[in-house]
Structure 1
C-alpha cells in the first residue's frame, strides 16, 4: 500500500494535467484564430479611412450640439457619481475630451467615432475567436467588422455623443471575455468576475447594460458546458462584479432620493399602458434603420439555420428584442433601446453569410449599409438632408441655437444682466453651452418645486440670484414668477430651423 498510494496520486495528477492541457489547447486554438491575409489588411485600412472621414465630418459639420449632448456636457462640468436621468460615465468621458480638445462640438463628440472603431475591432476579434475552428473564420471576421461599422445606428452614433456608445464598448468587451466558454467545457468564475467588472462600467454608461445579466443567465442555464453548480457560481460572480463597479452610483441614488430610478420608471411609463400593436409595428419598422434592412432580414433567417454557436448568440440578442418589443406594445419604445442586441446579432448574421462559397449576399448587404453610411456622412458634413428632407425635418433640433445665443448675448450686454431664467430644460442646456465661462447665471424656473429634470434639480431659480434678470421663453406673456417685477418685452429671437419652421423666443427684463 505504501508504494501504491503515490502511484494512485500520480495517476490522478496526470489525468488532471492532461485535462488541463486539453482545455488549454482548445482555448489556444480558439485564440490563435488565423494569420492575417491581404484581405484582412485591406479591410483594416478601409476601417481606418472610414474613421478618418467620420472624424473630419464631425469637425466641419455646421450642425450644432443637440439638447442631450449639451446636457451631457453640462454634467461634465460638475463631475459626480450620478445624474438625474443617466449614470455618470458619459459625463466623465466628455470631461476628458473637452479638456483635451477645447470648447467645441468636436471636443464633445470625438469619443463617438473612435469608440465605434474600437468596437468594430473587438467584434472582428470575437468573430475570429467564435468561428476560429472553421476555415471560413477570416471571411466571417471581415464581414462582421464591415456589417458593424456600416450599420445605420453606428453611422449615426459616430456623429453624436450618446450613452449607447460607451455602453456598447464595454458590452462587446464583456462578450469577448466569455466567448471561450462557448467552445470549451471549462468555465472560469474568475473570468466571469472580470466580465462583471466590465459590465459594471457598461452599467455606469447606461442601465440598459443590465440586459447582459439576463442574457448571460439564459446562456448559462441552457448551455451544457459544465455542472449546474459551476454555471451558477459563474452567474453569481458576474452579478457581484457588476454590482461592485456600479455601487458608487447606487449609493449616489440612495443619497439623492432615487431620482434616476424614478425617472426611468416614468420614462417607461408602463403605469398607463396603451397595448398598441401600432407602437410595436413602429418599433420594428425602426429596427430596419437601426440594424440595416437586409441585416435584420438575414438575422431572422439565420435564427433558423442552427449552428454550433447559434444558442450563444441568440441568448445575447433575442431576449433584448423581446423585452423591448413588449415595452413597445405596452406603451412605446425608442428605436435605440434594443441596440445592445446587435453585437451578437451581427456575429450571427456574419456567420450565416460567411457560409456561402459565393459572397453575393454579404456584398449586397454591405453595399446597402455603405450607401446609408455615406448618406449619413454627407448629411453631417453639409448640415441638411437635401432631397431626402421630410415634412418634419429632424435636423431642426440641431439648428438655430447659436443664433439664439447671439441674440440673447446682445441683450445681456445691453442690460448688464446677471441671471437668465429659461423656461425649459432644452433651452437651459443649450444656453449653458454657449455661455460657458461667461459671468451670467443660467437657471430654470421650477413652478411646482418638484424637480423633473437635472436643471430643476441643480439650477432652479431662487431669489438669491442677482438682478438684472432676463427671462427667455417661447410664450408671448411674461412668466409668472413670485418676487420678480417685470419691465416688459425687451426683444425677440426668430430664426428659421427648417423649411417651414421657425424657432421664436421672447426676452423679458426684470428684477427681484
Structure 2
C-alpha cells in the first residue's frame, strides 16, 4: 500500500476533491429546493416514521428516519428538507472515497475515484432522494477507511481504529442491512490475506466487536420486541415466492442495469480488471482489499437476479469500493483518455439529470416522463380524498387499501389532519398486517362506524364494500401525471364495518 502523502504533493488533489464535493453539494441543494417533483411514497413513509423516533421500523432500520427528523427539525416539512440528508450523506461518502483512494494509491487516484463515484449515475439519484442507500454508502466508506488505516497502524492507534471501524459498520447496519456485505468482504479478506490476519490482535478485535455490538444493541432489542419485523421484511424481499425462478431475461436486465447505475466505462474497467486479476492469480495488497469489498454484493445480487429477482440498486454496496478500484486500474493502465471520457460522460449525465429534476418538462420532452410519474400528483390525490371527506358528515375514519396511497396522503394531507380531518387508516386485505401502515393504523370495527373507503385504481373495491353492512356513494377521481399516465382512485362511504374472514391475499396493483 502507498503511505499517506502529505504536504505539497497531496495539497492540490485534496483541494480539488473538496471543491468537487462542495460544488456538487451546492448544485444538488439548488435542485432540491427548485424541483416541483413531489415525494415518492417511500419518502413519505420515512417522513412519517420520523415523526416518532424509534430504534427500528417495520421495513427498515432507523437512520433514515433519524436523518429526516434532524433536517425537518431545522427547516420544516417541505420536500427539500425531507431529502436534504441524502445530499449530505453522499458528500460524506465522496470524501471517504477520496481518502481511501489517497491512502491506498496516492492523491491522483484518490481524486479520480472521487470524481467517478460522485458522478456515478446511481449516486445522482441517491443524492436527491430520501432513502437508505445514501447513509449506507457513507458509513460503509467510513468503515473501509478505518479498516485500511488499521492495516497500517500499530499500538493504541490500531485499537482506536478498530473501535471506529466497528462503530461505523454498526451505523451502516442501522442504515440498511445490506451492510452485511461488508462483513462478508472482511471475512473473505481475512481468509485470503495473511497480512490482514496479522493486523488484528485480540484487543483490537474485541474493540471492534464491542463497538459494533453497542451501536446495534438498541435496534436488536427493538426487533426482538417486535417479532423481528425488519429482519422478516428484509428476508421477504429476497424470497422466491411468486416469481419465475432461473430467469435469464431477468439476469440480462439486471446486468444491463448495472452499466446504468455505475456507468459504462467504470463498470467495463472493473470487469476487465477482474478478468486480468483472475488470469494472473496475483493482486497487489490494495487491490485485494478493495476487491473483497466489491465483489460479494455484485456476485450475490447477480445470482439473486438469476434465481428470482433483484432491483438495480441492490448491488450498490459494492460500488463505493468498486469506484476506487476502477479508478486505480485506469490510472495504472495509463488509460487517461478512458478516464477522462468516463468523467466527461458521467458529468454530462449528471448535468442532464439535475436539469430534469429542476425542470421535469425536459424529461417529458425526451420521452423519460415514465421515470418521474411516481413523484407526481400525490398532493392532488390527497386533496381529492380529503375534499370528499369534508363533504361527508359524521365520518369516523378514512381508510385506503394501498400503502403508497396511505403514506402520500399522510404527508400531503398533514395540515388538514392536524386541523381535525378524520384519522387515516389502512384496510387490511389479509388476516395480519403486511406493512408499516397496516401495522400502525389498521381499520378496526371500533372506528368503522362510517368510513370513507378509498380504493387505489379500483383494486379490491368489491371486497372492501363487502366488509360493511351498507356501502354507497361511489365516486371515481383521477389525477393526470403526464401526457400518458393518470392515477385513479375510487371512493365510497361504508357504514358498519364488520370484516369477513380473510383468505389468501395478493400483490398490490402496479403503481402508475
TM-score band (shorter)? 0.7 to 0.9
Taking the aligned partners of 1:226 and 1:159, their CA distance within structure 2 comes to 37
Deviation at 1:496, TM superposition (A): 1.7
After superposition, give the CA deviation of every residue in 1:453-475 in whole Å (9 maximum; x if it has no partner).
00111110112327542111132
Deviation at 1:176, TM superposition (A): 0.6
RMSD over aligned Cα atoms: 2.5
Taking the aligned partners of 2:203 and 2:188, their CA distance within structure 1 comes to 14
Q: Which residue of 2 aligns with 1:208?
A: 178
Query: Is the 2:476–2:488 Cα contact (8 Å) retained in structure 1?
Result: yes
Q: Which residue of 2 aligns with 1:3?
A: none
- SS class of match (1:464): helix
Is 1:369 aligned with 2:346?
yes
Taking the aligned partners of 1:378 and 1:260, their CA distance within structure 2 comes to 36
Please list every run of 5 or more consecutive structure 1 residues that lacks an aligned counterpart in the other structure. 1-25, 132-136
Query: Is the 2:149–2:161 Cα contact (8 Å) retained in structure 1?
Result: no
State the structure with more CA Rg.
1
Cα pair distance change 1:31/1:83, threshold 3 Å:
farther
Q: 2:295 aligns with which of 297, 315, 318?
A: 318
Deviation at 1:241, TM superposition (A): 3.1
TM-score, normalised to structure 1, is 0.87
Cα pair distance change 1:419/1:221, threshold 3 Å:
same
Q: Which residue of 1 aligns with 2:477?
A: 493
Deviation at 1:397, TM superposition (A): 1.0
Please list every run of 5 or more consecutive structure 2 residues that lacks an aligned counterpart in the other structure. 278-282, 497-512
Taking the aligned partners of 1:97 and 1:237, their CA distance within structure 2 comes to 32
Pairs within 5 Å for 1:213-224: 213-224=183-194
Taking the aligned partners of 2:334 and 2:428, their CA distance within structure 1 comes to 64
Pairs within 5 Å for 1:61-140: 61-131=35-105, 137-140=106-109
Q: Which residue of 2 aligns with 1:336?
A: 313
Shifted more, 218-227 versus 258-267: the winner is 218-227
Q: 2:255 aligns with which of 266, 269, 284?
A: 284
Q: Which residue of 1 aligns with 2:144?
A: 175
Q: Which residue of 2 aligns with 1:199?
A: 169
Query: Is the 2:151–2:199 Cα contact (8 Å) retained in structure 1?
Result: no
Q: 1:464 aligns with which of 446, 470, 480?
A: 446
Q: 1:454 aligns with which of 436, 440, 458?
A: 436
Aligned residues: 479
Q: Which residue of 1 aligns with 2:458?
A: 475
Taking the aligned partners of 2:202 and 2:261, their CA distance within structure 1 comes to 34
- SS class of match (2:261): coil
- SS class of match (1:354): helix
TM-score, normalised to structure 2, is 0.87
Taking the aligned partners of 1:436 and 1:73, their CA distance within structure 2 comes to 11
Deviation at 1:150, TM superposition (A): 0.3
- SS class of match (2:195): coil
Q: 1:393 aligns with which of 370, 379, 396?
A: 370
